[in-house]
Amino acid sequence: MDDATPDLDRPQAPLAGPPGVTPGGAVDLRGRSFLKELDHTPQEWAALLDLAARLKAERRAGTSRRRLEGRAIALLFEKSSTRTRAAFELAAAGQGATTTYLDPAGSHLGSKESAEDTGRVLGRLFDGIEYRGAAQATVELLAEVSGVPVWNGLTDEWHPTQSLCDALTMTERCPRPLAETSFAFLGDGRGNVAASLLAMAALTGMDARVVAPPELAPAPEVLAAARAVADGTGARLSVTSDVEEGVRGVDVVHTDVWVSLGEPESTWDERVPLLRPYRVDAGVMAATGNPDSLFMHCLPAFHDLETSVGRAVHARYGLEEMEVTDEVFRGPASVVWDQAENRRHTIEAVLVATLAGLDA
């Protein structure tokens, strides 16, 4: 298991964005929502990454300032979370803001009060709203009616706070700028993590490959939207069902759970046989041909039998590991704990940029 802290004093590779873009240039994100990657320009994305790196360095150095003193943030979760909730709460508290956690069991959302009415109410009470739930349309509606910045903490379609975190992690851990870095995502290419990684790669000029069975290839509209941005940034986005071809030469191998939050139990019957050949194991890492290739996973991960879901899948299908082997997950290539920590710093950047400004 690699929980080594990156050396922030060593020279860092230039941050994201196509060559020639100056992070923090004329970009102003105050009052903006953060709903999906492709709502933003490459310059805005680069500025967020630059701010996240600065906030992380400040926190490490003990020089953090409280840029959001007196602000109030609503955390609206219709799905469970460990990292995203914790990261929003810590990021807000670290900047001096307060948070109020609301879920369907403890609020009227979805039962006695519509998303529209909830958004209008929360917009009068809070300075910003985080939302995690199924429909992208809901987070878009909240942004439309609330009058305050709304941040997408995961929908079925997109997971932009995760891809921002992943971009920061690759910036820190890979030897070259993102525009010269490549990754392969192995798993369900139709899921929110694959979609967000493709969009992030398009914005940052990366070489991104989705490696998935044909049945689970990315949605054509997601690929087309990402490729339209890639035309301007030089990103290379590809899709293949061939694992060896997909991972050849990459700097990073990403994967995600085979069945996402909220998908029905029966989904396992379809996904296990489809995705079993796409498990990240030592052979996959070796097939990159890159001895320094890294492993990343947004977490939670099914790499052993220490969870009730893992044991249930083992009982039904005989699998002791799913999307990644325990060997790779705990091995020297794994940077999953860096990723988990970076949820906080990148979410802090989104809060600061949209509520106080990039230069606050």
Interacting residues with ligand CP (CB under 6 A): 81-84, 154, 162, 298-299
Nearer to ligand CP, 67 or 132 (CB): 132
Nearer to ligand CP, 109 or 298 (CB): 298
> CA separation (Å) from 345 to 64, 80, 174, 176, 350?
12, 21, 18, 21, 9
Closer to ligand CP at the Cβ: 89 or 207? Answer: 89
Nearest to ligand CP of 1, 125 (CB atom):
1
State the nearest-atom distance from the C-beta of 5 to ligand CP, in Å. 20
How many other β-carbons are positioned within 10 Å of the β-carbon of residue 328? 23
Q: How far is the CB of 262 from ligand CP (least distance, A)?
A: 11
Token digits of residue 108: 């009227």
**57, 64, 131, 62: which is closest to 93 by C-alpha?**
64
Rounded Cα gap, residues 312 and 38, in angstroms: 37
Q: Shortest approach of ligand CP to residue 183 CB, angstroms?
A: 17
CB of 273 to ligand CP, least distance (A): 25
Beta bridge partners of 75: 101, 130
**Are β-strands 236-240 and 150-152 bridged in parallel, bridged antiparallel, or unpaired?**
unpaired
- Choose between 162 and 204: whose C-beta lies nearer to ligand CP: 162
**Smallest distance, Å, CB 147 to ligand CP?**
26
What is the distance between the alpha carbons of residues 55 and 199, in angstroms, rounded to a whole number? 24
Minimum separation from the CB atom of position 233 to ligand CP (A): 25
Q: Which two tokens stand for residue 268?
A: 């396992």
Q: Which is nearer to ligand CP, 83 or 344 (CB)?
A: 83
Alpha carbon dihedral 159, 234, 251, 42, in 10-degree steps, equals -40
Query: For ligand CP, which is the closer residue by CB, 57 or 90?
Result: 90
The Cα angle at residue 130 between residues 297 and 34, in degrees rounded to 5: 75
What number of other Cβ atoms are within 10 A of residue 231's Cβ? 9
Minimum CB separation of residue 155 from ligand CP in Å reads 11
